[in-house]
Amino acid sequence: MPSFTVKDGTEIYYKDWGDESDPVVTFSHGWPLSSDNWDSQMFFLASQGYRVIAHDRRGHGRSSQPWHGNDMDTYADDLRQLFEALDLRGVVMVGHSTGGGEVARFVGRFGTENRVKKAVLISAVPPIMVQSETNPKGTPLAVFDSFREAMLKDRSQFFLDVPTGPFFGFNRPGVKVSQGRIQSWWQQGMMASFKGAYDCIKQFSETDFTEDLKKMDIPVLVLHGDDDQVVPIEASAKRTIELLPQGTLKVYPGGPHALPNICADEVNKDILEFIKA
């Protein structure tokens, strides 16, 4: 099981598929999931001649469960150390939801140098989720407080309620519900450390990525569903595209938050076309 140890002793698990000589695409997952949520995209791109790498963020999946360091800067630092350990260059970075924030913070902290050439943000949390005077279309803080309360009360049930409802859009009339997807989400979420998942709620909701987005001086593809109930498009993608120097926005009509899962074929096609452009 491939893994490496970062400077504070945390062990980070990662998947590395394809040939080492192939162009590299990295994947950063959403909360509270793991690299497993990228399997469709990874298998597709690896079959198309790409080397695909996805890690389990600290406190998530098969990585260590440290008490400290569950913050966006450290997430980006961990990923940077993975890039260095594997000597990754000319990478296309892909991030979903919280992972989109991780990609933005990575570029904001370290620049692109010769390591990053393009990025894809899918249903991503930037520029900032929480509502404020300067972000009136954001989500009220009380919503994220309710997440924390639900975790403390009954994490296992909360981690069933999220995928059963808004994450996949299974709460919409006439939508075909996949019990397998619900169980997979629950399993991935329950693998996360309680502390890591709890801390990450603050990180994905209250971190301001505005300056990070401005520093992303590379082509960036933004994919977002207009029925995203978790990260509503008006406060996220439509603001993000105004901040990116070289951004392209594609809106998925009726698309839920879980675009990589529910709209996998279209997402795979869009990523591949963007990489090749």
User: What count of other Cβ atoms lies within 10 Å of the Cβ of residue 128?
Assistant: 22
Catalytic residue (one of 34, 64, 97, 205):
97
Segment 231-240 shows an average pLDDT of 98
Catalytic residue (one of 205, 228, 236, 270):
228
CATH code assigned at 69: 3.40.50.1820
Residue-wise pLDDT tens digits, 169-192:
999 999 999 999 999 999 999 999
Q: Is 257 a catalytic residue?
A: yes
Distance between CA atoms of 62 and 11, rounded to whole angstroms?
9
27: pLDDT confidence band, cut at 50, 70 and 90? very high
What is the total count of domains within the chain? 1
Q: Is the peptide bond before 253 cis (omega within 30 degrees of 0)?
A: no
Please, what is the angle between helix 194-206 and helix 141-164, to 10°? Answer: 120
Residue with tokens 């990180």: 203
Catalytic residue (one of 55, 60, 224, 257):
257
Q: Is 29 a catalytic residue?
A: no
Q: Which domain holds residue 100?
A: 3-276
Question: Would the pLDDT of 1 be above 70?
Answer: no
83: pLDDT confidence band, cut at 50, 70 and 90? very high
Q: Is 228 a catalytic residue?
A: yes
Per-residue confidence (pLDDT) for residue 198, from 0 to 100: 98
Residue 98 structure tokens: 């919280």
Residues 6+ apart with CB under 8 A from 193: 59, 60, 65
Per-residue confidence (pLDDT) for residue 114, from 0 to 100: 79
Distance between CA atoms of 156 and 162, rounded to whole angstroms?
10
Residue-wise pLDDT tens digits, 86-117:
999 999 999 999 999 999 999 999 998 779 99
Per-residue confidence (pLDDT) for residue 113, from 0 to 100: 79
First-to-last CA distance in the chain?
34
